[in-house]
Amino acid sequence: MKIDLEFTLNGKNVSIETEPGKRLLDLLRKDFKLTGTKEGCSIGECGACTILLDKLAVNSCLILAGQINGSDIITIEGINEADVLHTLQQKFLEHGAVQCGFCTPGMIISAYALLLEKPDPSYEDILNALEGNLCRCTGYKQIISAVQDSAKEMMQD
């Protein structure tokens, strides 16, 4: 059995016919070819598949297609404008918060969700926002510094 879904994806209204039990992660990667969202653990532990669902950071491996009808979804591909890196993306590069890059999209989306809610987050706010995202390469110092620097720059704009 298939269902028809309509939702907003990275600012565009989309529709698709799919199985209700298909994971949102697979829908994004396979059906919409948005491969920035990564599959890590498949059990909601690593954060590599983090996206925004109605402005909340969620693990797309734990969301079923049947749950997203009418929702607003933003992936890593949707946070920049006109092929210009978002401030968070630029600051991750500047601070060396990217090594293998596998966790980076999920980290950036989690930080983006935080900055939408709290434009001037404390150190603890940043730690809490990123606690569901695992990085095996950089350590978290550079990542936290990138988020702090992004917040400062975004508040000035």
Closest CA to 146 of 110, 136, 157: 110
pLDDT tier for residue 83 given thresholds of 50, 70 and 90: confident
Last residue of a domain, one of 21, 53, 78: 78
Q: Are residues 74 and 134 in the same domain?
A: no
pTM: 0.95
How many percent of the chain have pLDDT more than 70? 100
What would the mean pLDDT of 50-73 be, rounded to a whole number?
Answer: 98
Q: Are residues 33 and 94 in the same domain?
A: no
Q: Are residues 118 and 149 in the same domain?
A: yes
The pLDDT of residue 137 is: 87
Q: What DSSP line would sit under 20-72, residue for residue?
A: TTSBHHHIIIIIS--TTSPPSSSSSSS-TTEEEETTEEEEGGG-BGGG-TT-E
Q: Are residues 74 and 95 in the same domain?
A: no
φ, ψ of residue 32 in degrees (nearest 5) = -105, 0
Say how many domains are in the chain: 2
Please state the separation of Cα 115 from the chain's center in Å. Answer: 12
What would the mean pLDDT of 132-149 be, rounded to a whole number?
Answer: 92
Q: Are residues 119 and 55 in the same domain?
A: no
pLDDT tier for residue 82 given thresholds of 50, 70 and 90: confident
Q: Are residues 50 and 107 in the same domain?
A: no
CA dist 90 and 99 (Å) reads 14
Domain CATH for 13: 3.10.20.30
In the predicted structure, residue 44 carries a pLDDT above the cut 80: yes
Closest CA to 57 of 127, 99, 116, 15: 116
Mean pLDDT of all residues belonging to the chain: 95
CA dist 74 and 8 (Å) reads 8
Q: For residue 72, what are the domain limits?
A: 3-78
